[in-house]
Chain A
Amino acid sequence: MKSISYILILVFMLSNLSFGDELRKRAHLHKERSLLAEDVETEISFGKELAVKIVGKYKLIKDEEKTKYINLLGRYIAKHGPRQELKYHFGILDTETVNAFSTPGGYVFITKGCLELVEDESELAGILAHEIAHITQMHIMKNINLRAKEKGKMGSLATIIKGPMGTVEDITLTLLDEAYKILFEKGYQLEQEYEADRVGTQLIYLSGYDPEGLKRFLKRVLEKGYGEQLEKTHPNISERINVLDEFLEKDNLKNLNLKRNRYRFERYIKKSLTKKE
Chain B
Amino acid sequence: MNVRGPFVILILSSLAYGRELLYIQSLKAPIFQNPKLGSKEVAILKKGDKVTSIGKSDGWYRVTHGNVEGWIPSLLVSKEPPLERISITEREVDVKDTARRRASGYTTAAAVRGLLEDRYRANQKYMLDLESIEWLESLNISKEKTIEFEEGRD
Could you tell me which A residues sit within 8 Å of B by CB distance? 5-6, 8-9, 12-13, 34-35, 37, 40-41, 44-45, 48-49, 51-53, 55-57, 59-60, 62, 64, 67-68, 71-73, 75-76, 79-87, 89, 91, 107, 136, 165-170, 173, 180, 199, 202, 205-206, 211, 250-253, 256, 261, 264
In the complex, the chain B residue whose C-beta lies closest to that of A167 is B106
* Contact status B30-A76, CB under 8 Å: no
Q: Cβ of B80: which chain A residues have Cβ within 8 Å of it? A: 34-35
Contact with B126, one of A45, A56, A165, A202 (Cβ below 8 angstroms): A56
| Complex-state Cα separation, A37 to B85, whole angstroms | 9
| Complex-state Cα separation, A56 to B125, whole angstroms | 11
* Contact status B111-A5, CB under 8 Å: yes
* Contact status A252-B76, CB under 8 Å: no
Assess A41 versus B129: contact at CB under 8 Å? Given A84-B26, A84-B27, A170-B119.
Answer: no
| Complex-state Cα separation, A251 to B75, whole angstroms | 15
Could you tell me which B residues sit within 8 Å of A by CB distance? 25-28, 30, 36-39, 47, 73, 75-76, 78-80, 82-88, 93, 95, 98, 101-102, 105-107, 109-112, 115-116, 119, 122-123, 126-130, 132-133, 135-137, 139, 141, 145-146, 149-150, 152, 154
Contact with A62, one of B73, B82, B135 (Cβ below 8 angstroms): B135
Assess A9 versus B146: contact at CB under 8 Å? Given A56-B128, A68-B141, A253-B38.
Answer: no
Q: Cβ of A107: which chain B residues have Cβ within 8 Å of it? A: 133, 136
What are the nearest 8 A-B pairs in CB distance?
A: A252-B38, A56-B127, A82-B25, A85-B83, A60-B132, A5-B111, A45-B93, A72-B149
* Contact status B106-A84, CB under 8 Å: no
* Contact status B126-A48, CB under 8 Å: no
Question: Taking the nearest CB of chain B, how far is it from the CB of A78, in angstroms?
Answer: 9
Question: Taking the nearest CB of chain B, how far is it from the CB of A67, in angstroms?
Answer: 6
Q: Cβ of B115: which chain A residues have Cβ within 8 Å of it? A: 9, 12-13
Question: Taking the nearest CB of chain B, how far is it from the CB of A124, in angstroms?
Answer: 13
Question: Taking the nearest CB of chain B, how far is it from the CB of A270, in angstroms?
Answer: 16
* Contact status B129-A52, CB under 8 Å: yes
In the complex, the chain A residue whose C-beta lies closest to that of B83 is A85
In the complex, the chain B residue whose C-beta lies closest to that of A46 is B93
* Contact status B84-A85, CB under 8 Å: yes
* Contact status A53-B128, CB under 8 Å: yes
Q: Cβ of B137: which chain A residues have Cβ within 8 Å of it? A: 89
Question: Taking the nearest CB of chain A, how far is it from the CB of B114, in angstroms?
Answer: 8
* Contact status B111-A68, CB under 8 Å: no
CB pairs A–B below 8 angstroms (11 shown): A12-B112, A45-B88, A60-B135, A76-B146, A82-B25, A85-B86, A91-B136, A173-B123, A180-B126, A250-B36, A252-B37
* Contact status A173-B136, CB under 8 Å: no
Q: Cβ of B130: which chain A residues have Cβ within 8 Å of it? A: 52
* Contact status A169-B83, CB under 8 Å: no
Contact with B36, one of A168, A173, A180, A252 (Cβ below 8 angstroms): A252
In the complex, the chain B residue whose C-beta lies closest to that of A166 is B106
Q: Cβ of A68: which chain B residues have Cβ within 8 Å of it? A: 139, 141, 145
| Complex-state Cα separation, A81 to B75, whole angstroms | 7
